[in-house]
Chains A and B, each alone.
Chain A
Amino acid sequence: MRRYFARKLFIYVVTFFLAVTIDWLIPRFMPGNPVQNMLSRAAVRAEAAEVMYGYYTRAFGLDVPVWQQYLNFWNALFHGDLGTSIYLFPTPVTKVLMDAVPYDIFLLLPAILLSWFAGNKFGAFAARTKRLDNTVLPLGYILTATPYMWLGILLAWAFGIVLDVFPIAGAYSYTMAPHLSWTFIGSVLKHWFLPFASLFMIFFGGWAIGMRNMIIYELEADYSHYLEALGAPRKLVRKYAFRNAILPQLTGLALQLGVIVAGALVTEVVFSYPGIGYLILAAIQNQDYFLIQGCFLFIIIGVLLANFAIDIAYVLVDPRTRKGMTGETA
């Protein structure tokens, strides 16, 4: 088992190193000069602009040769310093991320987890009878194929403007500053509900379809037929089928959790909800090397951690993997 994990760890470290190098390289391939873009957002006098250009190029470490920038980057990374954002100068990148990512986690984590549980349960449920299957499956397809921004805008319009039940913008009411009270918590939940619901509905469809397909596949497997032939109750057969079907769903869940840090850009735009997705887009448009690097670094770490979590989860959940690791066959 130790060798198994050691080998995995080595692969992860190499992947991390390569991914971070690519992450560092890609923004620098974008045409254009970020410092020039930053300065030209205000029509500064040419003489002052020259001085500022030199100052900021030095301040961002962009005046040294490329290989030295690369080494500086790793050096800073090991000190936990992700640099200063160009687009949001002079805010440090870590502060930008700390301010924005919690909103996305608050939105996406419940949406992903709840839709996973509900979707899988529902998909398994639908695989029982043909009639259920005929109604649930098209619903699942519709939900998963719906363009997200269309559904989001529709929800915002229907519930926010026509029925005026939920607010359509912000993370909490613009009439309050954050403080501990039921009013504030209520406001946060009210503003959270529509974006959450729109994400939940879209994810739900996908999980339901996946689970339904897996269950049907498992119910056709040899062991299912054997159990039925032995006279096992249907409930038992379905329970075993569910356990086998859940494995690929676990993989999907872990991968989706891994990219939470990328935020939900379209949600943030449609519902004007703060988060990191919009900032990543703005960083790309403004060629903010450091914010792009920082955000994608977190995404890389998230995905690698998710992969690692899957590996461990499989070992825990699936006895066949446990046996396989120690050399025994099934």
Chain B
Amino acid sequence: MWARSRLIVCTLVAAVLVLGLTSGLVFGQVYERSETLYVSGTAWGPASDWNPFIAWSKSNTTGTIGLLYETLFMYDPLSDEFIPFLAESGQWTNANTYELKLREGMTWSDGQLITAADVKFTFELGQQYAALWFSPMLLGDKKYLDSVNQIGDYYVLFNFTDPLYQEWDNNLYNIPIVPKHLWEGKTEADITAGANANPVGSGAYMYDTHSSDRNVWVRNENWWGNDVFGAPAPKRIVDIRFSSNNVALGAVIKGDVDLSNNFLPGIATLADKGYVKTYFPAAPYMLAANTAVLFLNTTKAPMDDPAFRRALAYAIKTDDIVNVAYANLVAAASPTGLLPSLSKYDDAAVIASLGWTYDPAEAAAILAAAGYVDVDVDGLVEAPDGSAIALEVTCPFGWTDWMEAISVISDSCKAAGINIEDVTPDYGSWNTALTTATFDMTLNNWAAMSNTPWTLYNLLFRHPIQPIMGSGNFGAYDNQTLFDLVDQLAAVPTTDLAGMQAVCSQIQTIMLTEVPMIPLWYNGLWAQFSDSVWTNWPTDGANTPSRLPTTWSGYWQLGGLLTLTELELVAPPAP
């Protein structure tokens, strides 16, 4: 009798288990391949927060600004146009007033209406909390936005004094609008440093789930943009964090990942053979995303000598970086540092007369004329006062493409007579050296795609010079004329093309004469995609969308989101 009842119990338990386990295919737990977009290449650590105001961690939860929270405008760098996004329109009604009209009928993902009160609230957060990255516009001695007024539910008036038009335009597509009804009760710690779990936004996608190596976004079926731009094609986006680039490569080739924004060396060969697709069918294969600039520490001899710096510019063989280190995935940069999308601000005459190309003979001539002679005949010059020159060019260890690049720099400079060693400290000490100006020369590529050349020059010539230069001008180059010009550029209205070009021309003249830093190459907007499930990817061809094929944080609002609305399935699912 005992045995029988035990048998019955066991059978029941087994049946429950079997039923439970096999019925576990609950809707939405296993993603349909034809509904899901797999991407990778942005996250390098596990997700830690969905707070749009914590600027440095958004890579690990890319899409927080762009998919979830949205900005007033989008900017398309390929066509140099502002696309009204949350805003329906915006214009300067006079020199100091900007009027914004919000689209009507938009809702947050919890159903509440999006109104001008949310916009006013978001900007006023910058007025209250100095820790928000856009607060210098509203708070402190450099502020120029005095007040934000709400007129009705859909009009916002921004009142300025001496507005910096260039920065304002830049902010229009970078400041995410957050819901007032959920954020007004938050404490300062929550707003400036909170994790903001289970976020509610206005965007095309909502937070679904995450684990330590993936973030899953699910489409917002009530997104306001469905009527304006069309609904984005994938129902889910799974953003995968691979531990290393070669694992990502394996996944792309297998077709497990649709869009990879990793830097994968050798993509040129794979693209040629048809394993992956890229934006351009031939070199440079990738769009230019930012400029890699070699910063020179102008507080240290001999980098404080403009002649030495100019000779250095002639001594670096950029072609080897492009062809060998990057295997044709990048292009050499303009000496002004401006990206191709901003090339209309390049003064061709200035570049023609002051620009440089690889010319070791010219480098030697400049060095000789400035008093740098090879006294001990070892092939390397010494300083005019006789002291030996032994410099280091650095990049963080593990950034393999940059490690190759600084190796090229070191080799070509040594061949031209300048003693430079390539050194690769770990990220922490490299970063400390960068921000405290204790390096000799190093690379930085924060000058990203932008609507204005001002962002590049604000990075290169950040002022005032402080003990810690955390956001630009790492070589502490001090030139008040140049600083004044950059400030002047900031205040030029963005519609005044001639005015901007004039100031840029002056900046470029000084920059190419003094050479405080050397723009070397355009880092690519790494993107390789697979046509196995999704098609109609953006490419350079005639019949494909002209958008940015990227999931990088900060690029969704440059048209990255619109890539998703243009995607199509290769084979529509069977009815």
Q: Which residues of A contact B (CB under 8 A)?
A: 30-34, 36-49, 51-52, 55-56, 59, 85, 87-91, 96, 99-100, 103, 156, 160-161, 164, 168-171, 174-185, 268-274, 278-279, 282, 285-287
The number of chain B residues with a CB under 8 A from chain A is 72
**Nearest Cβ distance between residue A279 and chain B, in whole angstroms?**
8
The reply to whether B33 and A87 contact each other, CB–CB distance below 8 Å, is no
The reply to whether A43 and B472 contact each other, CB–CB distance below 8 Å, is yes
- Complex CA–CA separation, A38 to B48 (angstroms): 13
CB interface residues, B 20-59, toward A, < 8 Å: 20-26, 28-31, 33, 36, 38, 44-46, 48-49, 54-58
**Nearest Cβ distance between residue A80 and chain B, in whole angstroms?**
20
Identity of the chain B residue whose Cβ is nearest the Cβ of A160 in the assembled complex: B250
A47 touches which of B23, B44, B142, B244 (Cβ 8 Å) = B142
Choose the segment among B211-219, B309-317, B558-566 that binds chain A (4+ C-beta atoms closer than 8 Å): B211-219
The reply to whether A285 and B426 contact each other, CB–CB distance below 8 Å, is yes
**Nearest Cβ distance between residue A291 and chain B, in whole angstroms?**
11
Contacts A100-B212, A160-B250 given: A43-B24 contact, CB under 8 Å?
A: no
Identity of the chain A residue whose Cβ is nearest the Cβ of B24 in the assembled complex: A181
The reply to whether B431 and A44 contact each other, CB–CB distance below 8 Å, is no
Contacts A87-B45, A171-B213, A272-B242 given: A37-B432 contact, CB under 8 Å?
A: yes
The reply to whether B131 and A52 contact each other, CB–CB distance below 8 Å, is yes
The reply to whether B26 and A44 contact each other, CB–CB distance below 8 Å, is no
Identity of the chain B residue whose Cβ is nearest the Cβ of A52 in the assembled complex: B131
CB interface residues, B 446-463, toward A, < 8 Å: 446, 459, 462
- Complex CA–CA separation, A156 to B246 (angstroms): 11
**Nearest Cβ distance between residue A104 and chain B, in whole angstroms?**
11
**Nearest Cβ distance between residue A188 and chain B, in whole angstroms?**
12
The reply to whether A37 and B431 contact each other, CB–CB distance below 8 Å, is yes
Interfacial chain A residues near B462, Cβ < 8 Å:
46
Identity of the chain B residue whose Cβ is nearest the Cβ of A276 in the assembled complex: B212
Which of B26, B54, B131 has most A Cβ within 10 Å? B131
Interfacial chain A residues near B21, Cβ < 8 Å:
180-182, 185
Identity of the chain A residue whose Cβ is nearest the Cβ of B48 in the assembled complex: A88
Interfacial chain A residues near B49, Cβ < 8 Å:
89-91
The reply to whether A40 and B431 contact each other, CB–CB distance below 8 Å, is yes
Contacts A168-B250, A175-B33 given: A33-B432 contact, CB under 8 Å?
A: yes
**Nearest Cβ distance between residue A276 and chain B, in whole angstroms?**
10
Interfacial chain A residues near B195, Cβ < 8 Å:
90-91
B480 lies within 8 A of chain A by Cβ? no
Residues 427-438 of chain B: 1 if any A CB is under 8 Å from the residue's CB, otherwise 0? 111011011000
The reply to whether B216 and A48 contact each other, CB–CB distance below 8 Å, is no
A269 touches which of B243, B459, B470 (Cβ 8 Å) = B243
The reply to whether A48 and B132 contact each other, CB–CB distance below 8 Å, is yes
Interfacial chain B residues near A184, Cβ < 8 Å:
24, 29
The reply to whether B250 and A99 contact each other, CB–CB distance below 8 Å, is no
The reply to whether B247 and A168 contact each other, CB–CB distance below 8 Å, is yes
The reply to whether B432 and A183 contact each other, CB–CB distance below 8 Å, is no
CB interface residues, B 378-432, toward A, < 8 Å: 426-429, 431-432
Which of A31, A174, A179, A271 has most B Cβ within 10 Å? A174
- Complex CA–CA separation, A156 to B20 (angstroms): 33
Interfacial chain B residues near A286, Cβ < 8 Å:
427-428
Query: Could you write out 11 A-B pairs with CB less than 8 Å apart?
Result: A34-B428, A36-B431, A36-B435, A48-B132, A88-B46, A91-B195, A161-B254, A180-B24, A183-B24, A273-B243, A282-B44
The reply to whether B140 and A44 contact each other, CB–CB distance below 8 Å, is no
B130 lies within 8 A of chain A by Cβ? yes
**Nearest Cβ distance between residue A275 and chain B, in whole angstroms?**
8
B488 lies within 8 A of chain A by Cβ? no
The reply to whether A32 and B446 contact each other, CB–CB distance below 8 Å, is no
Identity of the chain A residue whose Cβ is nearest the Cβ of B247 in the assembled complex: A272
Interfacial chain A residues near B333, Cβ < 8 Å:
none
The reply to whether A59 and B193 contact each other, CB–CB distance below 8 Å, is yes
CB interface residues, B 474-501, toward A, < 8 Å: none
B251 touches which of A169, A176, A182 (Cβ 8 Å) = A169
B334 lies within 8 A of chain A by Cβ? no
The reply to whether A48 and B244 contact each other, CB–CB distance below 8 Å, is no
Contacts A36-B432, A272-B242 given: A177-B216 contact, CB under 8 Å?
A: yes
The reply to whether B133 and A45 contact each other, CB–CB distance below 8 Å, is yes
The reply to whether A274 and B213 contact each other, CB–CB distance below 8 Å, is yes
- Complex CA–CA separation, A36 to B423 (angstroms): 22
B278 lies within 8 A of chain A by Cβ? no
The reply to whether B130 and A42 contact each other, CB–CB distance below 8 Å, is no
Interfacial chain B residues near A177, Cβ < 8 Å:
28-29, 31, 208-209, 216
Interfacial chain B residues near A174, Cβ < 8 Å:
38, 214, 238, 240, 256
B77 lies within 8 A of chain A by Cβ? no
**Nearest Cβ distance between residue A211 and chain B, in whole angstroms?**
34
B194 lies within 8 A of chain A by Cβ? yes
Identity of the chain A residue whose Cβ is nearest the Cβ of B32 in the assembled complex: A175
- Complex CA–CA separation, A88 to B61 (angstroms): 12
**Nearest Cβ distance between residue B424 and chain A, in whole angstroms?**
13
A181 touches which of B25, B130, B216, B256 (Cβ 8 Å) = B25
The reply to whether B432 and A156 contact each other, CB–CB distance below 8 Å, is no
The reply to whether A272 and B213 contact each other, CB–CB distance below 8 Å, is yes
Interfacial chain B residues near A47, Cβ < 8 Å:
130, 135-136, 140, 142
**Nearest Cβ distance between residue B114 and chain A, in whole angstroms?**
26
**Nearest Cβ distance between residue B330 and chain A, in whole angstroms?**
21
Interfacial chain A residues near B431, Cβ < 8 Å:
32, 36-37, 40
**Nearest Cβ distance between residue A192 and chain B, in whole angstroms?**
14
The reply to whether A274 and B212 contact each other, CB–CB distance below 8 Å, is yes
Interfacial chain A residues near B243, Cβ < 8 Å:
169, 268-273, 278
- Complex CA–CA separation, A287 to B432 (angstroms): 11
The reply to whether A49 and B45 contact each other, CB–CB distance below 8 Å, is no
Interfacial chain A residues near B247, Cβ < 8 Å:
156, 168-169, 270-272
Identity of the chain A residue whose Cβ is nearest the Cβ of B30 in the assembled complex: A176
Contacts A45-B136, A168-B251 given: A175-B30 contact, CB under 8 Å?
A: yes
- Complex CA–CA separation, A59 to B426 (angstroms): 26
The reply to whether B470 and A49 contact each other, CB–CB distance below 8 Å, is yes
Given contacts A179-B24, A185-B21, 4 further A-B contacts (CB under 8 A): A43-B459, A174-B214, A270-B243, A271-B247
Interfacial chain B residues near A164, Cβ < 8 Å:
254
Contacts A36-B470, A43-B446 given: A51-B212 contact, CB under 8 Å?
A: no
- Complex CA–CA separation, A174 to B57 (angstroms): 23
The reply to whether A39 and B31 contact each other, CB–CB distance below 8 Å, is no
B48 touches which of A42, A91, A268, A278 (Cβ 8 Å) = A91
The reply to whether A44 and B470 contact each other, CB–CB distance below 8 Å, is yes
The reply to whether B432 and A31 contact each other, CB–CB distance below 8 Å, is yes
The reply to whether B20 and A180 contact each other, CB–CB distance below 8 Å, is yes
B468 lies within 8 A of chain A by Cβ? yes
- Complex CA–CA separation, A51 to B208 (angstroms): 33
Interfacial chain B residues near A87, Cβ < 8 Å:
45
Interfacial chain B residues near A270, Cβ < 8 Å:
243-244, 247
Interfacial chain B residues near A168, Cβ < 8 Å:
247, 250-251
Interfacial chain B residues near A268, Cβ < 8 Å:
243
B471 touches which of A45, A56, A59, A274 (Cβ 8 Å) = A45
B357 lies within 8 A of chain A by Cβ? no
- Complex CA–CA separation, A36 to B247 (angstroms): 31
- Complex CA–CA separation, A270 to B245 (angstroms): 10
Identity of the chain B residue whose Cβ is nearest the Cβ of A54 in the assembled complex: B131
- Complex CA–CA separation, A111 to B133 (angstroms): 48
The reply to whether B56 and A41 contact each other, CB–CB distance below 8 Å, is yes
B127 lies within 8 A of chain A by Cβ? no
**Nearest Cβ distance between residue A47 and chain B, in whole angstroms?**
5
Identity of the chain A residue whose Cβ is nearest the Cβ of B398 in the assembled complex: A285
**Nearest Cβ distance between residue B113 and chain A, in whole angstroms?**
30
Identity of the chain B residue whose Cβ is nearest the Cβ of A99 in the assembled complex: B212
Identity of the chain B residue whose Cβ is nearest the Cβ of A161 in the assembled complex: B250
Interfacial chain A residues near B62, Cβ < 8 Å:
none
The reply to whether A90 and B446 contact each other, CB–CB distance below 8 Å, is no
